[in-house]
Amino acid sequence: MIGVLTHHWAKEGSFEKAKTLLIGNGEAQSKAPGFVSRTTLYSRSHSRQITSLVLWESDEIYDDWKTSPERSAAMTGADLLWESPPVSERFDIS
Tens-digit pLDDT profile for residues 5-50: 999 999 999 999 999 999 999 999 999 999 999 999 999 999 999 9
CATH-assigned architecture of domain 2-92: 2-Layer Sandwich (3.30)
Whole-model pTM: value is 0.92
75-78 long-range contacts, Cβ below 8 Å, gap at least 24? 75/21, 75/25, 77/21, 78/18, 78/21
pLDDT score for 70? 96
pLDDT score for 94? 86
pLDDT score for 50? 98
C-alpha count within 13 angstroms, C-beta hemisphere, residue 5: 7
**Domain residue ranges of the chain, discontinuous segments joined by +:** 2-92
